[in-house]
Amino acid sequence: MKIKITRITADIVDIPLKRSHQFSAAKIDAKPFLILQMETNEGVIGIGEGTTPGIWWGGESVETMKLVIDQYFSPLLYDEDPRQIERILGRMDRQVFGNEFAKATVEMALYDIVGKLAGVPVYQLFGGQYYEKLPTRWALAIGKVEEDVEEAKVKMEGNVHHQFKMKAGNLPTAEDADRAIKVAEKLKGLTTVGVDPNGSWDELTTRKWMDRLYKAGIAFLEQPLPKWDIDGLARLKEMKKVPIMADESASTLSEVDQLIKREAVDIISLKVHKSGGMSRVKKIAAMAEAAGVPCFGGTSLESSIGTTAALHVYSTIPNLTEGCELFGPIWLADDIVDQPLKLSGGHIFLPEESGLGVTISQEKLNKYRRKNVMSAGGTQ
């Protein structure tokens, strides 16, 4: 009997956070997720998750993802063989420009189905584990020096996290840099701290502060300049002070190709959602490996579903030498799965069950499901 997709459902849920989180453009107290369930005629259900830091980050939100999946991708998916992932991705690309977060959500569910059909964890579909566990950085995002320092010390004392990065970009560049230096200096000798302004700093001010950032021991600057400013990133890299990491500038294969050709970055931050799925993350990592560029395992702040998907592919990448930041499940006040991922000793561990290895808690899904969702025709 031919295996085919027969049912697709997409629900938006809103899960509260343990504490407020300050991005460069927004402060949040709860995190929205799109939970996708895709069923085959044999009763195998694949799970996918879509989420973003916010629509300000890459132009997508859980609401846009639901619209695109419901109205554009679902008609392409019904009666298709879920094992033909590359063909399905190609069809989605031909029919819908961009919308990489939505595409990644669909691909995640497809790989979950294929892993379950084969009886193997998804990481086996990407060549098997290179790492059994990954060191995980925690994001210091309270926004105040003393409170960020205290949070880092509590995490270290509790043997939960031993490396950190600061969210920045909510202040003018000079004030932001000064705050980052004060935090790094107070933690110097205890841990390492990176800084992520989400593309909000200006080049001139960053250059003026680079020596002081370097002397404070800042581990890296993640996307200090806007996504489009590749030349500016290259000039910061040429200073040979704090390593420059690309995130927003390194979303697609073509973008990474340009970064490598122009020698614009020291590190590539990988993310499943921004690149349109796990398979494309694997390709981007291979491009970086060929150029001798190390990778970092980024996050879109997923629950255990999306975090597991990222972990499956990250664990197969030899040049993912800079660790990861897959802290989403313990950042949330609750989770949407029956058994959340295991994090301990500053590391995150993979589940060994077939597929993604996670199961949705229907009780939690019902509890956090958004009741009023805007569709193309109005409120549902």
Signed CA dihedral, 143, 347, 100, 367: sign only: negative
Start-to-end CA distance of the chain, whole Å, equals 37
Q: How far is CA 17 from CA 302, 311, 340, in A?
A: 12, 21, 15
Q: Quick check: 198 and 169 in contact, CB under 8 A?
A: yes
Helices and strands in the chain, H and E counts: 15, 15
The CA distance from 270 to 322, in Å, is 11
Beta strand extents in the chain (DSSP E only): 5-22, 27-40, 45-50, 133-135, 137-140, 163-167, 193-196, 218-222, 244-246, 267-270, 295-297, 342-344, 347-349, 374-375, 378-379
Is 31 annotated as catalytic? no
Contact by Cβ (8 Å): 202, 225: yes
Supply the DSSP symbol for 72: I
For the question of residue 167 being annotated catalytic, the response is yes
Query: What tokens were used for 312?
Result: 């499956």
Rg (CA), the chain: 20
Residue that the structure tokens 């150029």 belong to: 291
Indicate which residue of 165, 167, 186, 364 is catalytic. 167
Residues 64/373, Cβ–Cβ less than 8 Å: no
The rounded distance, in Å, linking the Cα atoms of 52 and 66 is 13
Partner residues linked to 295 by β-bridges:
268
Q: Which amino acid is at 139?
A: A
Task: State the catalytic residue, choosing from 155, 255, 325, 364.
Answer: 325
Using an 8 Å Cβ cutoff, are 77 and 88 in contact?
A: yes
CB 209 within 8 A of CB 177: yes
- Residues carrying an active site annotation: 167, 325
